[in-house]
């Protein structure tokens, strides 16, 4: 029998099994194997007459149920975002008041250029980012609780069936979940995936997972344009990221990364009550990266933005005639089809390549307003509508990951080709998605 005949016979058998048993061949074989093992154990082990189910077993009857698993996962994630927004509001207000007072005090410093640097540049830029410390840290706390109690392993198990349909498996979902905190550890976690094409595909789709650095953008615009549904809008960004990642994984596996996927077998850990120390340690491990970037990359960028907004000397601060206005005006037409073709938006996206928090920091330095009214200033001065804000959020969600993530992709793939490909194709996908949302959306809102 030739190679082609063998492959054809294999495909016929797989199709036959799927038609008769309603499942993929890997799952069927795994179930039969464990069924054989279970039958063998019954012959050699003595068990109590009545074997009681553990608490974990009873919970898993619902949590990993074939039909309820994914809806429960989505409902739980939605509850997390409602928790984050409800609890973080007062803390954000206190931080806003502090930076408002500090900016007012700094604006009186002499000479005028120093006062402008401190108030408009450093305090305005950094303050507009640091105000989002409460929701970011609360989100990390919620994720840490889900990980420590044993639920995240169930999430990977529940998603395994769906992941198989796009040519991956449940193990690929674990790095994707880690990407919610930061894409860098999510990309590095792909090392645990044995199949090379599965691993590369997971690396290339991981940047679509909404990391904590994007959260300030979503919170800022959701508060300004979607006041009554902030949690739902931010939650939709995470769902859109997952959907786009799944679609692109399917495209990659059907084109340039075609091939069989690996198998996924895992032992579900028992449910445990998370410890306060463990949750706080996990929160700090993720959150300190945000603080480090605020003290280094974001600080440096807002100073550069202030300088470019002030030069050449004599022009109005952050005007179209300033250097930053000229840079933004040059690249702004690219984003016009997506609805945000203003130079301020263009230049914030440009600097956002360094770190996604810088998008908000750049806006804060350009508009030079108190942190709590930055969203209102964007709506008033740029003339944005909720549709434009939503399209901008989707673009920020999907476009090129930060420069550090690109470096990690280069290291994990040992290829600048794949790193460059990730930067290019994510930006193209982001532009297409944002443009479709704006162009189709305005047919219904005009």
Residue 400 has pLDDT above 80, yes or no: yes
| Confidence class for position 299, pLDDT limits 50, 70, 90 | confident
| Within-domain flag for 235 | yes
Do 47 and 80 lie in one domain? The reply is no
Arithmetic mean of pLDDT, 423-438 = 97
pLDDT of 345: 95
> For residue 221, what are its two tokens?
């615009």
Total structural domains in the chain? Answer: 2
Do 138 and 199 lie in one domain? The reply is yes
Do 186 and 42 lie in one domain? The reply is no
Arithmetic mean of pLDDT, 74-101 = 85
Mean pLDDT across the chain, nearest whole number?
85
Do 341 and 192 lie in one domain? The reply is yes
Do 173 and 289 lie in one domain? The reply is yes
Residue 43 has pLDDT above 80, yes or no: no
| Within-domain flag for 219 | yes
Do 37 and 102 lie in one domain? The reply is no
| Within-domain flag for 83 | yes
Arithmetic mean of pLDDT, 4-32 = 76
Residue 162 has pLDDT above 60, yes or no: yes
Residues 6+ apart with CB under 8 A from 430: 394, 395, 396, 397, 398, 399, 400
Residue 265 has pLDDT above 70, yes or no: no
Do 322 and 250 lie in one domain? The reply is yes
| Within-domain flag for 260 | yes
Do 96 and 136 lie in one domain? The reply is yes
pLDDT of 23: 67
pLDDT of 385: 94
Q: Which residues of 314-342 are buried (b: 16+ CB within 10 A; e: fewer)?
A: eeeebeeebebbebbbeebeebebbbbbb
**Residue 180 and residue 416: Cα distance in Å, rounded?**
25
Do 31 and 97 lie in one domain? The reply is no
pLDDT of 262: 61
Do 14 and 97 lie in one domain? The reply is no
Q: Which of 218-227, 261-270, 339-348 has the lowest mean pLDDT?
A: 261-270
For the chain, how far is it from start to end, CA to CA, in angstroms? 64
| Within-domain flag for 62 | no
| Confidence class for position 82, pLDDT limits 50, 70, 90 | confident
| Confidence class for position 172, pLDDT limits 50, 70, 90 | confident
| Within-domain flag for 73 | yes
Do 205 and 147 lie in one domain? The reply is yes
| Within-domain flag for 130 | yes
Closest CA to 378 of 351, 333, 402, 348: 348
Domain that residue 105 falls in: 69-445
Q: In the chain, pLDDT over 90 holds for what percent of residues?
A: 30
| Within-domain flag for 363 | yes
| Confidence class for position 50, pLDDT limits 50, 70, 90 | low
Do 204 and 349 lie in one domain? The reply is yes
| Confidence class for position 293, pLDDT limits 50, 70, 90 | confident
CB 379 within 8 A of CB 365: no
Arithmetic mean of pLDDT, 88-109 = 84
pLDDT of 128: 78
**Residue 366 and residue 336: Cα distance in Å, rounded?**
20
């Amino acid at each position: 029998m030739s190679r082609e005949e063998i492959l054809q016979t294999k495909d016929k058998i797989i199709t036959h099994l799927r038609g008769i048993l309603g499942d993929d061949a890997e799952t069927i074989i795994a179930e039969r194997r464990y069924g054989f093992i279970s039958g063998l154990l019954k012959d050699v082990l003595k068990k109590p007459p009545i074997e009681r189910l553990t608490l974990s077993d009873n919970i898993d009857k619902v949590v990993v149920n074939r039909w309820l698993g994914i809806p429960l996962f989505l409902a739980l994630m939605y509850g997390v975002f409602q928790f984050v927004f409800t609890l973080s509001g007062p803390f954000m207000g206190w931080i806003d008041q502090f930076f408002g007072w500090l900016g007012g005090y700094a604006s009186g410093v002499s000479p005028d250029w120093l006062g402008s640097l401190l108030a408009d540049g450093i305090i305005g830029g950094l303050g507009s980012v640091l105000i989002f410390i409460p929701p970011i840290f609360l989100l990390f706390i919620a994720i840490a609780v889900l990980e420590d109690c044993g639920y995240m392993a169930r999430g990977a198990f529940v998603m395994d069936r769906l992941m198989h349909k796009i040519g991956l498996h449940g193990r690929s979902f674990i790095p994707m979940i880690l990407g919610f905190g930061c894409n860098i550890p999510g990309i590095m976690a792909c090392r645990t995936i044995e199949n090379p094409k599965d691993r590369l595909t997971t690396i290339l789709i991981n940047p679509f997972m909404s990391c904590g650095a994007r959260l300030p953008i979503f919170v800022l615009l959701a508060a300004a344009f979607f006041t009554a549904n902030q949690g739902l809008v931010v939650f939709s960004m995470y769902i859109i990221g997952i959907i786009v990642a799944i679609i692109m994984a399917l495209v990659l596996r059907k084109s340039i990364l075609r091939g069989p996927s690996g198998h996924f077998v895992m032992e579900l850990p028992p449910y445990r009550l998370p410890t306060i120390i463990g949750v706080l340690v996990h929160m700090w491990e993720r959150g300190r990266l945000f603080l480090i970037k605020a003290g280094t990359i974001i600080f440096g960028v807002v100073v550069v933005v202030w300088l470019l907004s002030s030069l050449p000397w004599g022009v109005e601060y952050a005007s179209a005639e300033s250097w930053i206005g000229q840079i933004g005006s040059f690249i702004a037409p690219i984003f016009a089809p997506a609805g945000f073709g203003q130079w301020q938006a263009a230049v914030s996206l440009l600097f956002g390549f360094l770190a996604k928090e810088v998008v908000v920091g750049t806006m804060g330095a350009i508009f030079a307003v108190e942190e709590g009214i930055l969203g209102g200033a964007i709506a008033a001065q740029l003339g944005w509508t909720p549709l434009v804000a939503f399209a901008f959020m989707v673009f920020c969600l999907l476009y090129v990951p930060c420069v550090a993530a690109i470096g990690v992709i280069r290291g994990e793939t040992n290829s600048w080709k794949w790193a460059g490909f990730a930067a290019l194709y994510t930006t193209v996908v982001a532009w297409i998605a944002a443009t479709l949302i704006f162009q189709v959306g305005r047919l219904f809102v005009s």
